[in-house]
Amino acid sequence: MPGNHPDPLAELLAAGAATVERPHLGAGYRGYDTPRPKGGTVDLRIVMHWRHSGKITVDGLGRLAFPVLPDRPGLYRFTWVDSICGHRTFVGETGNLWRRLIAYRHPGPASVSDQYVSDLLLSHLNAGGTADVAIAMYGALHVSGTERELDLASAASRELAAGAALMQCAVAGDTDVVS
């Protein structure tokens, strides 16, 4: 074995779990068996600003056409007013805004949600309605009163921000959330 390192799993199985010493993993490491404080508070706030990016239209081939968006991570929001449902909102997140919107223009047969949103928008636009797209590429995360950048390159951060945006829509109660 290169470096002659023992196999920790083999050592654990041979010695029995109670007799194996844990390796020193450095300052700040808290193993799963370390007692943790009970209770606690989650104090988290997300701030981001939507930037209107343009109208969603239908091109001459009957497909969705979007404004040019950057090739970077972020959140996107489609909004439109439907005569039956009223104000409608769809919020999504992606590692590449431009590429993600192309998926709504050309939804594949396995992309059920892409096809659903594409069909909703096409029906609305073909009936004479209008739809807008807005994006958010930057944000701040406030944790226990300390502000830090919301890293939208991280899928977990984007999902958290999209969840917050959807929750804001749900709490406001003035839009039908499609997401």
Instruction: Convert the pLDDT of each residue in 40-89 to its tens digit.
Output: 788 889 999 999 999 999 999 999 999 999 999 999 999 998 777 788 99
Regarding beta strands 176-177 and 86-94, do their DSSP bridges make them parallel or antiparallel, or are they unpaired? parallel
CB 74, CB 136: distance < 8 Å: yes
Q: Give the Cα separation of 27 and 155 in Å (integer).
A: 27
Q: Give the Cα separation of 159 and 136 in Å (integer).
A: 13
Q: What is the pTM of this model?
A: 0.75
Q: Which amino acid, one-letter code, is at 114? A: D
Helix 97-105 × helix 112-126 angle, to 10°? 70
Domains of the chain: 44-177 (3.40.1440.40)
Instruction: Convert the pLDDT of each residue in 106-145 to its tens digit.
Output: 988 888 999 999 999 999 999 999 999 999 999 999 988 8
Which residues on neighbouring strands pair with residue 48, listed in sequence order?
A: 139
CB 135, CB 53: distance < 8 Å: yes
